Chain A
């Protein structure tokens, strides 16, 4: 057991697993919604914005994420390996109700983290990652209160549940073939909180800030191994446990109403990835497998705009830059990271006084990263996983909102 577990290190939750796209309209504007927050998706982006809404609002939709990722190497070889194309459909749902002019309540459901990667089971990095799937769901009840005419605040509780599955291979010494290792775990209840504030110093200027706390997950699950029967007792099996903390993030934004039709918004998002420094998996026999990740705090800079025509049609566009949270020497194919630039556009249509529909598209460009000082190994020894990582995504979203 001990021997093989030393070969096992696990990686989960790289920055690329974070999903910031929780409404088609916000996504179309490059995610610059903290200082706008004037529909029910404010529950996620900045619940303080709910005080701008009257009555009852519903907003629901889904995002289709199609990540693409590749690895070229291992240096000096230049063979290119592509991850298998997968489609992810995180759902968002929000409901809000304004009790009066000053007080609103809301309830949101989102998947703030949740993606996966799948490589060919015989690819060069098979001992690092074959298939990884992370799904995090949150249910967020919030309350927003208008403190002053131009100042609102909000607070929310985040209830979360999550599933993680990781599969990879381990070498079996002189035995032909490898063992397949599958780790599955879930946490049915983890908690966090959110705060928001929105301030209108001038008629045409809105400032907003929102904070999402860390969430500490205590995953419990099982390890299954599929290898040579002689090794059954030596391969990881039984119950496992792992603590993972998803990072806090803070968004600060400003929205400028240029005229009755045009709004421009910009935003800075700070992501506290440094909370994720080591992933340790504890096996029931006392074996531990720790994998230092040494993530660093990261940020995203966003810019977006919305132009609303008189006939109810709106055009939206945005752009953002997402900084790589991990040093290139720690790059791992569980989910290849990259410095990414997102470029988005979208359309909105107010069908009538009650219904609005929004559709948007976001393309994530990534500059490839060449790693030549890798500290990650793709063997049971210390062969460095040097090569070129590239990761991008096509993302489309559709949301429908209804108010009465």
Chain B
């Protein structure tokens, strides 16, 4: 009997030893030095996209997913940002209801979290920045838009009076720099329907400014990645309203064949667009136009009232059916017409050609955002782009890549961008930074089943007023 007990005791003892072997996974060693590149002090210079701006606001829970921070997290590098506590800078767009889709902006704002950080921020992306600003702007008034009479407080938030974006990047003694700038040199023109500013930065001026900027950055003697500019017409800000209106507007019932719009610089109501041209996007209606589609066919001057026009433009008669009568056309500011599209396209082409030439000359690596976003757009027509088990499209809300302002990426959109940088860095410097699984980032927006009258979102007045691109 005693032997039996002994045997059981021995077996038990053996088992305890045999089974307490919780074999350990080996934690990945996060090392900012990868291959021939050192990301210890990564500095990202750019505009709203670099800053992590989403849905019309700079707010902490989105800034945490800026592509710069995502890259830094992948390699375990420290990366400081000008965080603003949620709900962020005034004007964050929020979905009030999905069905009908009602989007409102948040009138509250959060406070900056780390203004006392003693060094410049690693993230030197400033919403609204144009190529000129990086070497020249030191505050809200000296930025290009400030000089034009529209101060941009985002510069004060990020720069804190300690010099330009470039000077602060230099002061950080960076080991690696990303530069993604120039989007606003064409985007501001496009999002305002070609009204404000009335032209993109001239191509020659852009090339000169970019070249000067590249010289300055090259003088720091560190490795640099630059990104080029995606086609502005490939974003939901321009591709949501027209195609939706084309398929859901009751053309037959209203006995109309086309809408009338105001062509830039021409007499009232000379522009016409039928459902096919709206569908194909030969004329683009901006996202701002969504709120006014419910007035189509009604005598309405709501647009001019809500946007504080001092007077109804001459030749416009708001007693005529809005959008369906040449004397009450869709206003210029809501439309990117054929000529404006060509202007935007040509500028983007010229800017990108300057960027790639300068990058080549300076031995900066080039991340071809334009090609990658065009691929995403092309895939939309074959059902989308499957990444990490999620189907992405460039469409508004349902696409998962763009936030509510129709311009800026979601968390997952930022992850997509971060991966493009990571892949370019890996291939250029023989590095092995792991790419981010996009499904691990909190992100895509819930599909709405119904929108307003014509399946379009309703934006409360002022929703777009605070946006800095």
Contact = CB atoms under 8 A, between A and B. Distances in A.
B106 interface: no
Given A365-B16, A383-B440, 15 more contacts: A3-B447, A78-B24, A173-B445, A174-B444, A176-B86, A233-B99, A262-B1, A343-B8, A343-B12, A345-B8, A380-B389, A381-B387, A381-B388, A381-B438, A381-B439
Report which residue of A72, A262, A367 has the largest number of chain B beta carbons within 10 angstroms of its beta carbon.
A367
A341 B19 CA distance: 9
Contacts of B447: 3, 234
A172 interface: yes
A174 B443 contact: yes
Contacts of B16: 365
A398 interface: no
A383 B98 contact: no
Contacts of A108: none
A379 B437 CA distance: 10
A343 B11 contact: yes
Interface in A361-404: 363, 365-368, 370, 377, 379-383, 387-388, 390
B25 A387 contact: yes
Q: Which of A73, A345, A379 is most buried by chain B, counting CB atoms within 10 A of its CB? A: A379
A382 B5 contact: no
A231 B98 contact: yes
A77 B19 CA distance: 23
B361 interface: no
Interface in A226-269: 230-231, 233-234, 261-262
Contacts of A87: none
Contacts of A174: 55, 403-404, 410-411, 442-446
Interface of B: 1, 4-5, 8, 11-12, 15-16, 18-19, 21-28, 55, 61, 86, 95-99, 387-390, 400, 403-404, 410-411, 434, 437-440, 442-447
A317 B8 CA distance: 7
A383 B439 CA distance: 7
B15 A341 contact: yes
A172 B19 CA distance: 40
Nearest to A387: B25
A345 B439 CA distance: 48
A379 B440 contact: yes
Among all A-B residue pairs, the 3 with the closest Cβ atoms: A381-B439, A382-B389, A381-B389
Contacts of A317: 4-5, 8
A299 to B, nearest CB: 19
Interface string A141-178: 00000000000000000000000000000011111100
A341 B438 CA distance: 40
Most buried by A among B99, B438, B442: B442
B440 A367 contact: no
Nearest to B410: A174
A164 B25 CA distance: 34
Contact of A230 (B96, B410, B411, B437): B96
13 contacts: A173-B446, A174-B55, A174-B411, A174-B443, A175-B446, A315-B5, A317-B5, A363-B12, A367-B21, A377-B389, A382-B389, A383-B437, A387-B25
Contacts of A231: 98, 446
Contacts of A381: 387-390, 437-440
Contacts of A78: 24-27
A3 B23 contact: no
Contacts of B388: 379, 381-383
A307 interface: yes
A172 B411 CA distance: 13
Contacts of A305: 4, 8
Contacts of A4: 446
Contact of A77 (B27, B403, B443): B27
A175 B388 CA distance: 20
